[in-house]
Structure 1
Amino acid sequence: MAHLFKIISLIRASIFFLLNISQTHYYVEEIHRTTNTS
């Protein structure tokens, strides 16, 4: 049971990591867009 919990927490951590990367990428794209327009 503890092994299953460890796997679930690992999956949740990887999902959060991927979401964080995509969010940061989107934020960088927004900065480039605003600096190009100004």
Structure 2
Amino acid sequence: MDKNYFNLMGGERGEGALTQVLAFLKRVINQIFKEAFK
């Protein structure tokens, strides 16, 4: 993934950034399911 994306997600702390990315993906997935099953 783009390095700038990780910088936006909270810097280059490695695991911390990965955790934030996973949390972001989880929110996106939850939103998709909400829209899909209205």
Residue 12 of structure 1 pairs with residue 19 of structure 2 = no
Deviating above 2 A after TM superposition, structure 1's stretches of 4 or more consecutive aligned residues are: none
- Of the two, which has the highest radius of gyration? 1
Q: CA RMSD in A?
A: 0.3
Long gaps (5+) in structure 1: 1-10
TM-score, normalising length from structure 1? 0.66
Long gaps (5+) in structure 2: 1-12
Greater helix content: 1
Shift of 1:34: 0.3
User: How many corresponding residue pairs?
Assistant: 26
Identity %, equivalent residues: 0
